[in-house]
Amino acid sequence: MIGFDNTWLRSLPGSFLRLDPDVAPDPKLVVWNGDLAAELALSPEVQRHAARWFSGAEVPPGAEPVALAYAGHQFGGFSAQLGDGRAHLLGEVLGPDGRRWDIQLKGSGRTPFSRGGDGKAALGPMLREFLISESMAAMGVATTRALAVVITGETVWRDGGALPGAVVARVAASHIRVGSFQFFAARGEDDKLRALMDYTIARHYPQLSPGDGLGLFDAVTRAQAKLIAQWMGLGFVHGVMNTDNMALSGETIDYGPCAFMDAYAPGTVFSSIDRQGRYAYGNQPLILGWNLARLAECLLPFFDADEARAVTLANERLGAIAEIYRDEFLAVMAAKLGLGAPDAALTDDLLLLLPGEDWTQFFRALSEGRAVAPALQDWQQRWRALGPDLAAMQQVNPVVIPRNHLVEAALEAATLGDMAPFTALLAELRRPFAPAAGREAFALPAPEGFGSYVTFCGT
Ligand code: AMP
Ligand code: MG
């Protein structure tokens, strides 16, 4: 049994539709996250039922599946109604430490929010979410986790090709997004907006009082600034930082066309649909501010009862985001460089010299006391004179990240029924900071012939 406790359903009527997932005809468990199951203290019985419970074949006892409604700005354009078009929230569980988690199925069938979509997912993208979210967690980044991937026994069609259908069961601190607030704000449903705000405060920021919109905004700003700074430190490109993909909890959510940069280039974009580079690597801090401005618009009535005063407060907050982010980024870089305190000039100079170098390998080389490219050696001397802590650096600069060519090879093999490359890659991603010796192939950037990497959305 899973001890579901569904506070969302009781607290926020009007924010979801109650409906069951599609029944998977022939479910088979392909990956089980035993570590996460243990963290959640799920009983061994859950794993035995995983194929059925986490595919939609059977609704687990106590679950009350819902599709959540939300709105959102997608690539800057507003949709008043998006919502879970292929996902079902099964319910909430409490971990042994009392923390509350959502368990959600993705790829589990059409809902009234599906628009043109089929409500399904192919195996490759669901395994991709599993791999990359596990890697992020292992590197210490706040993220949703994947508990299981189940093949449904159905075929899904993508670009004219037949692919095995799959469902990922994911665990999140919650699925409250900026878009969840935009949904009620756009409809002028002030009471529901207030209920959502208080629910979010109670669930994620319980140190705040109910009604404290400004406190909530500040807390989310800090959490998100910290998160984006971590992404930047690891060379992670989310790919779809739409407001419906930004979580109030501060977790990374909705792994779609995301990927890690090899050579440092601020303009790096992987997503096939991001033609303008809106969500390019180097733009992510700006989009952080843009998305938070959308959240501020929703929370404005709770900043101050007096509208003019609320706007002034909002503008002050928005004006401060760049600096809050910059402090977080400089702290991330100080840790990457093994320095006790941030050094803005040293960091900025490095970023001017670094384009073209493999981001991950460069920092690891520094942390192992190796020589770097000639053009960077003067900088390296300057840095070394500060007495960096190399051992500490090796705890934050990964050796193994989800390199695009390895992820692709693992997913391709899995789609053909061979899980061995996936399993091998996952094992290495789970110990990102261990030395490269004996696993060099997992540490190298893509070979020359791999070409530029393109990822796809809504996959
Ligand atoms: P995403 O880019 O994954 O955050 O998805 C944006 C929106 O499209 C969400 O409302 C999803 O539920 C929906 N969506 C994505 N893929 C599908 C699909 N295959 N079928 C139905 N809805 C989908
Ligand atoms: Mg999404």
154 lines ligand 1 (CB under 6 A): no
Quote the ligand 2 centre to 242 CA distance (angstroms).
8
Instruction: For 201, list phi and psi in degrees, rounded to 5.
Output: -60, -50
DSSP summary character for residue 370: -
85 lines ligand 1 (CB under 6 A): yes
Give the predicted TM-score (pTM) of the model. 0.98
81 lines ligand 1 (CB under 6 A): no
Residues annotated as catalytic are: 244
The pLDDT score that the predictor gives to residue 459 is 54
Pocket test for ligand 1, best of 114, 152, 242 (most atoms within 8 A of CB): 114
Neighbours of 194 (CB within 10 A): 16
322: pLDDT confidence band, cut at 50, 70 and 90?
very high
Of 181, 161, 167, 165, residue with least CA distance to 72: 181
Quote the ligand 1 centre to 355 CA distance (angstroms).
34
74 lines ligand 1 (CB under 6 A): no
Mean pLDDT of the chain: 97
458: pLDDT confidence band, cut at 50, 70 and 90?
low
Closest C-alpha residue for ligand 1 atom 23: 85
The pLDDT score that the predictor gives to residue 449 is 85
Could you read off the pLDDT of 241-276 as tens digits, one per residue? 999 999 999 999 999 999 999 999 999 999 999 999
Separation in Å, CA 264 to CA 204, 363, 370: 34, 11, 19
Long-range contact set of residues 253-258: C-beta below 8 Å, sequence gap at least 24: 253/143, 253/144, 253/172, 253/175, 253/177, 255/128, 255/129, 255/132, 255/133, 255/144, 256/125, 256/455, 256/457, 256/458, 256/459, 257/455, 257/456, 257/457, 257/459, 258/132, 258/455
Long-range contact set of residues 346-353: C-beta below 8 Å, sequence gap at least 24: 346/379, 346/382, 346/383, 346/386, 349/379, 350/376, 350/379, 350/383, 351/264, 353/379
118 lines ligand 1 (CB under 6 A): yes
Kindly tell me if the per-residue pLDDT of 81 is higher than 60.
yes
Q: Are 79 and 112 in contact (CB under 8 A)?
A: no
